[in-house]
Amino acid sequence: MQELEKTVNQEGFWQNIEKANLINQELSSLKKEIDDYKSIEENVVDNLELINIVEDNDLKIIENEAMALEEKVKNLEFACLLNEEYDKLNCYVEIHPGAGGTESCDWASMLSRMYQKFFERMNYKYEIIDSQDGDEAGLKSITFYVKGNYAYGYLKCEKGVHRLVRISPFDSNKRRHTSFASVLVTPEYNLDINIEIKESDLKIDVYHSSGAGGQSVNTSNSAVRITHLPTKIVVTCQNERSQMQNKEQAMKILKNKLYELERQNKEKEINNLKGEMDNINFGSQIRSYILEPYKLIKDNRSGFETSNVGKVLDGDIFPLIESVLKVGSQNE
């Protein structure tokens, strides 16, 4: 914190406003961490002193204080789990349905609603970068840009395949169906990403933006789809007003994806040298949501279970995320 304060007070600090805002954001976050710690420490000292001077019948006041402090300490311990390099960053969240047509598209739509409710619970700001409706119902894909403290740290726990078992609302015979949807989370790296992208490696398509219809529909080819041919990474953007703005946003996301791919490859090389295997990869089934014949949500990594599926699908996924982070810290 002291090092950043010195930086803030240097002459010319505000010449690069974007960089200055990032430093200020990190400084505010560190100040809050330190203030929270000091506040708990002071409360503990004050209550220890009170124990020695109050009458036995007044101890109830201290017991209540102790319960409140216990909760604060628990939150502080949990914050310590978010200690990886990119945990504090904003992120992009993508949802893609698996094979299964309308069933999987509807499941992708349910997950989209669940995450939007979670963003609201966390007071995260978010915007839909791209969204494609299913042919009959649900979503073919959706991409969110999520902005908030530790957005990536929390949401990285959602990477992988999510499995749904339920009686299909689209099946006239009321049979039970299993659907899959994948979630991909990429941090928004707060740095000038030095990745060379050759024009010859890109296939750029433009198309009509999808919208609600009426006056809000965009009749020009403003939406942009960029395919990076060597890696087969596809990025789409249609939320901006102009084709140029959508292309800039799509290129920014592509750079983040390529940087993330490069980082993952380096980690795999290191793990192979160390003889370690990464057992939680994108594409693995991480969680099951069973609505029929009984109600149960189970995370396959932490073993956390709950029968309150309605609460989870309404965005209360924090206990699931917490369980995954705790398992990760134990494995370390």
- Assess whether 153 and 11 both reside in one domain: no
Query: Exposed e or buried b for every residue in 40-59, given b needs 16+ CB within 10 A?
Result: eeeeeeebeeeeeeeeeeee
List pLDDT tens digits, range 16-44.
887 888 788 888 888 988 998 999 999 88
Percent of the chain past pLDDT 70, that is, above it, reads 89
Q: What is the 3-state secondary structure (H, E, C) of 105-149?
A: HHHHHHHHHHHHHHHHHCCCEEEEEEEEECCCCCEEEEEEEEECC
CATH number at residue 141: 3.30.70.1660
Structural domain boundaries enclosing 254: 199-274
Q: Write down the mean pLDDT value for the chain.
A: 85
- Assess whether 150 and 289 both reside in one domain: yes
Nearest to 324 by CA among 279, 270, 264, 262: 279
List pLDDT tens digits, range 149-180.
889 999 999 999 999 999 888 877 778 889 99
Say if CB 208 and CB 233 are below 8 A apart. Answer: no
Percent of the chain past pLDDT 90, that is, above it, reads 44
- Assess whether 258 and 127 both reside in one domain: no
List pLDDT tens digits, range 249-290.
898 899 888 988 888 887 776 566 545 433 333 346 899 999
Nearest to 112 by CA among 126, 99, 122, 123: 126
pLDDT at 191: 58
CATH number at residue 270: 3.30.160.20
Output 102 or 276, whichever has higher pLDDT. 102
183 part of a folded domain: no
Highest mean pLDDT among 86-100, 190-204, 276-290, 295-309: 295-309
pLDDT at 118: 97
184 part of a folded domain: no
Q: At what angle do helices 59-79 and 17-51 cross, to 10 degrees?
A: 150
- Assess whether 153 and 26 both reside in one domain: no
Domain boundary among 51, 79, 107: 79
Mean pLDDT of 214-227: 67
- Assess whether 204 and 64 both reside in one domain: no
* Angstrom distance (rounded) from CA 321 to CA 319: 5
- Assess whether 165 and 291 both reside in one domain: yes
pLDDT at 330: 64
Query: Exposed e or buried b for every residue in 168-204, given b needs 16+ CB within 10 A?
Result: beeeeeeeebbbbbbbbbbbbbbeeeeeeeeeeeeee
90 part of a folded domain: no
Domain boundary among 257, 274, 291: 274
166 part of a folded domain: yes
Q: Say what the pTM is.
A: 0.73
Domain boundary among 225, 257, 274: 274
Q: How many domains does the chain have?
A: 3
**What single-letter DSSP state applies at residue 270?**
H
pLDDT at 53: 81
* Angstrom distance (rounded) from CA 60 to CA 286: 44
- Assess whether 268 and 293 both reside in one domain: no
84 part of a folded domain: no
189 part of a folded domain: no
Query: Exposed e or buried b for every residue in 321-331, given b needs 16+ CB within 10 A?
Result: bbbbbebbeee
